[in-house]
Structure 1
Amino acid sequence: MYDMKALYEATSVPHAVQLLQEHPQAQIIAGGSDVLIQMREGKRAGVELVSIYGLEELRGVTMEEDGTIRIGSLTSFSHITKDPVIQKYINVLGEAVDMVGGPQIRNIGTIGGNTCNGVTSADSASTLFAWDAVIEITGPEGIRRIPIQEFYIKAGKVDLKPAEMQTGILLPKKSYEGYFGHYIKYAMREAMDIATLGCSVNVKLSKDKRHLEDVRIAYGVAGPIPLRAEHAEAEGRGLEISEAVLERVGNKVLEDITPRDSWRASKAFREHIAKVLCRRALKEAILLAGGVIHE
């Protein structure tokens, strides 16, 4: 059923890097919720695998001294949803990954695997884009950290060089302090389905709760990779909150997104729901932040 050439089990991060150097054709397997399915379908026949599933140092959520939230790349979706640090500071991420598959997938699937796939439909990706997440990568040359916007190169491809692996996702304090967010996943079914479109919005309101001091809008499945709606963000930044502003920002996203036709939905339909989801997510984020929306 599973046609593989060899399976190597890493005992530490340096050991995993060493194995990847010794076996340059090998691919990493973590939870295996994607890799094993692809192998069963014959898409990775004769593959060499380096398992990192036993590396406990890559699991869990911690708060660093400078306020940065660190999520180990092997942290499961269910762990993220239940983690007290996530619930207190970036609960929207827990809500987003709670929409991935069913309970079995959420128990074994990892946030590192979800982002390293490079797919635009990953439920965690758009929310991490909205939070200005930083990706930590470990390899033969040591550790490097890059913004998540630079990590995604094209559909199915991320910035991992030979023998490198993702070891963490970092959320700097300046990215989440004072912000409130909401994520909406539109899918053909309510559960166990890939997103037709996903929209994640964060806002930071002025002290009087009347103006949008900052707004971040990110999408999945609105282009070949997850993206930020920069024109729409600039349109709303600094404005007094009103229903008209929600409409104005929502309409502006058409300057940022590049959806395509597929069997799940047409380009025109995705453009329509992109505007609708932006308005709804923006409204919910404002309400979570304590704002009041006037007519």
Structure 2
Amino acid sequence: MYDITNILEPKTINEALEMLSNNPRLKIIAGGTDVLIKLHHGAMEAVELLSIRKIKGLDEIALMEDGTISIGAMANFSEIFRNDTVNQYIPVLAEAAVSMGSPQIRNMATIGGNVCNGAVSADSAPALFALNAILKLESTTGARMVPIEQFYSGPGKVKIESGEILTNFLINKEEYEETTGNYIKFSNRKALDISMLGVAVVCNSNWQRFNDLRIAIGVAGPTPIRCKEAEAYARGKDITEKTIEEIGLYAVKSSHARDSWRGSKSYREHLIEVLTQRAIKEAVKRAGGSKNE
């Protein structure tokens, strides 16, 4: 059923990095919800696995002294959406986490595996993009910090180098302080389906105008994206119905939507416009404000 020739289970990150350095062919497995499916369908053959599940500390979620939120790559989606720090400071990520599959999947799937799989439908990706998350990648030669926007290189492809393990996601205080957010997932079915579109919004406003607005979209193109044109247009604008409508249109321009078996380009563009507007309105509402007519 699974063409696995060997499984290594290190107990420390240093041990794991040494094993990976000695055998670059090892395939890292976290929760296994993506890797095991690929193995089941024959997408991988005669694979050697390096399981990082037993490494203590890789699932920790912590608020550091300088206000940075650190999320271990092995934190599963159930742990994320139930975590007090996540819900208090970055609830947009909690919303993304709870939208992920079934309870059984959320108990196994990890945020690190979700991102490293490189799928454009990864539910965590838009929220992490909107939060300007930084990835900490470790190897035997040291650590490398990579902004998440620079991590994706194409469908199913990420810029993780040979010998590296993703250990943490870091979200700096200035990225979430005095912000509200909203994540909306749209799929063909109401339950347990892969996302047709995911929109995450992080907003800093003074209830009258947008001081800062970040919009990230998943499944619109070959990688998750930030809608930079829409963000630039919104900055400093009064919060009105007209402004929010225009932001939605700019988001469509930024998205470069495409046709796929899950939906046509025109339908995706409609969803981007409508869901972006809806997410912004909810974020403004959560800030205690309302749009001006």
Please state which band the TM-score falls in when normalised by the shorter chain.
over 0.9
The counterpart of 1:241, out of the listed 239, 247, 258, is 239
Amino acid at match of 2:265: K
Amino acid at match of 2:28: I
Matches within 5 A, 1:137-152: 137-152=137-152
Equivalent residue number for residue 279 of structure 1 = 277
Equivalent residue number for residue 6 of structure 2 = 6
User: Secondary structure, in 3 states, of the residue corresponding to 2:48?
Assistant: strand
Provide Cα deviations, 1:115-162, integer angstroms capped at 9, x if missing partner. Answer: 111111100000000000000100122111111001112111111111
Amino acid at match of 2:155: A
Contact 1:121–1:221 under 8 Å retained in 2: yes
Contact 1:199–1:220 under 8 Å retained in 2: yes
Equivalent residue number for residue 182 of structure 2 = 182
User: Secondary structure, in 3 states, of the residue corresponding to 1:286?
Assistant: helix
Question: How far apart, in 2, do the equivalents of 1:49 and 1:23 lie?
Answer: 11
Question: How far apart, in 2, do the equivalents of 1:136 and 1:222 lie?
Answer: 26
Question: How far apart, in 1, do the equivalents of 2:36 and 2:271 lie?
Answer: 33
**Unmatched 5+ residue regions in structure 1?**
none
User: Secondary structure, in 3 states, of the residue corresponding to 2:220?
Assistant: coil
Question: How far apart, in 1, do the equivalents of 2:54 and 2:13 lie?
Answer: 10
Equivalent residue number for residue 59 of structure 2 = 59
Query: Is the aligned partner of 1:162 residue 2:162?
Result: yes
**Unmatched 5+ residue regions in structure 2?**
none
Query: Is the aligned partner of 1:109 residue 2:135?
Result: no
- State the shift of 1:255 in Å: 2.0
Equivalent residue number for residue 226 of structure 1 = 224
Matches within 5 A, 1:189-268: 189-206=189-206, 209-268=207-266
- State the shift of 1:4 in Å: 1.1
Question: How far apart, in 2, do the equivalents of 1:3 and 1:129 lie?
Answer: 35
User: Secondary structure, in 3 states, of the residue corresponding to 1:57?
Assistant: coil
Question: How far apart, in 2, do the equivalents of 1:60 and 1:21 lie?
Answer: 25
Contact 2:120–2:218 under 8 Å retained in 1: yes
Question: How far apart, in 2, do the equivalents of 1:266 and 1:57 lie?
Answer: 43
Of 258-267 and 65-74, the range deviating more from structure 2:
258-267
Equivalent residue number for residue 124 of structure 1 = 124
Question: How far apart, in 1, do the equivalents of 2:261 and 2:115 lie?
Answer: 24
Contact 2:257–2:268 under 8 Å retained in 1: yes
User: Secondary structure, in 3 states, of the residue corresponding to 1:135?
Assistant: strand
- State the shift of 1:6 in Å: 1.2
Amino acid at match of 2:260: S
> Matched residue pairs, number?
293
Question: How far apart, in 2, do the equivalents of 1:96 and 1:190 lie?
Answer: 15
Amino acid at match of 1:66: D
User: Secondary structure, in 3 states, of the residue corresponding to 1:11?
Assistant: coil
Q: TM-score, normalised by structure 1?
A: 0.98
Question: How far apart, in 2, do the equivalents of 1:261 and 1:88 lie?
Answer: 37
Contact 1:213–1:238 under 8 Å retained in 2: yes
Question: How far apart, in 1, do the equivalents of 2:256 and 2:53 lie?
Answer: 36
Percent of aligned pairs with the same amino acid: 44
Q: TM-score, normalised by structure 2?
A: 0.98
Query: Is the aligned partner of 1:39 residue 2:39?
Result: yes
Structure 1 segments of 4+ aligned residues over 4 angstroms from their partners? none
Contact 2:11–2:56 under 8 Å retained in 1: no
Contact 2:70–2:168 under 8 Å retained in 1: yes
Amino acid at match of 2:54: G
Contact 1:195–1:221 under 8 Å retained in 2: yes
Contact 1:204–1:214 under 8 Å retained in 2: yes
User: Secondary structure, in 3 states, of the residue corresponding to 1:239?
Assistant: coil
- State the shift of 1:254 in Å: 2.2
Amino acid at match of 2:285: L
Question: How far apart, in 2, do the equivalents of 1:188 and 1:107 lie?
Answer: 23
Contact 2:75–2:111 under 8 Å retained in 1: yes
Provide Cα deviations, 1:240-273, integer angstroms capped at 9, x if missing partner. Answer: 1111111010011122112211111001110111
Question: How far apart, in 1, do the equivalents of 2:257 and 2:163 lie?
Answer: 33
Contact 1:60–1:79 under 8 Å retained in 2: no
Amino acid at match of 1:271: E
